[in-house]
Amino acid sequence: MANIGIFCGTAGGTSMAIAKALAKEFDVDEIINMEEDFDNVDQLLEYDILFLGSSTWGQGDVHHSWVDPILEIESDNIDFSGKTVAFFGAGDCKHGEHFGSALGKLHKTFTKAGAKAVGFVPASWYKYEFSLAQIDDKFCGLAIDNHNEKSLTKERIKNWIEILKEEICLQFEVHCRIGSLEIIASRVVNTANVHCRIGSLEICTSQGLNAQYVHCRIGSLEM
């Protein structure tokens, strides 16, 4: 079962508001505040899926609480292979050439370390001069601008969460029906093993899933 970690570095409430929405939607009990709760990079490695948040400062810099962890990841070549990451944070689209650039710096660090990045949104969602978070025609995460576009915040968060759900397949259902007995199990997974035995027929599959639904019926044999 995959587990989710939410890590947020912010001086204000905007990035944390996104973190709280993620925690509610994905049933995560704890948000790691990078200033108050973060100890070392080993905390990040405990999770399969990472939602990483940072506001953007100065010339496209990450929040100061991310500076040392990024330095450690890069200098020690810490391996994040097998991890899935998504980035979010506050920005100001009228802030010169660095709208949401902190997301771009996080993306560079974690993908270089082997993580798979998800949660890209169309760059057309925003109007800005330049951003390190833009990759081709996409923005490598969710940026929220409550200074200039607060009316769009709720809708953007909602749409982004739907993108995340689809891309990291957080909901996997195995539905088995045996006579009048029907069982539905839901869990968070990256890879699922489905093993069905019906009489002498035995099937075992292992595969990566994208919101896949497996239905087994014993009797008329429906799969």
State residue 156's pLDDT score: 94
Predicted confidence at residue 139, as pLDDT, reads: 93
Indicate the pLDDT class of residue 1, thresholds 50, 70 and 90: low
- The runs of H, that is alpha helices, within 151-217 are 153-168
Q: Which of 47-51, 58-62, 105-109 has the lowest mean pLDDT?
A: 58-62
- Higher-pLDDT residue of 80, 184: 80
- Asked whether the predicted pLDDT for residue 138 surpasses 60, the reply is yes
Strand, helix or coil for residue 1: coil
Q: Which residues contact 153 (CB under 8 A, 6 or more apart)?
A: 144, 146
Per DSSP (E only), the strands in the chain are 4-9, 31-33, 49-54, 84-90, 116-117, 121-122, 134-135, 138-139, 142-144, 172-178, 181-187, 191-198, 201-208, 213-218
> For the chain, what are the domain ranges?
4-168, 172-218
**pTM, entire model:** 0.75
Model confidence at 171, pLDDT cuts 50, 70, 90, reads very low
CATH of 4-168, one of 3.40.50.300, 3.20.180.10, 3.40.50.2000, 3.40.50.360: 3.40.50.360
CB atoms near residue 192 (< 10 Å): 16
Looking at residues 75-84, what average pLDDT do you find?
A: 97
In 10 A of CB 24, how many CB atoms?
A: 10
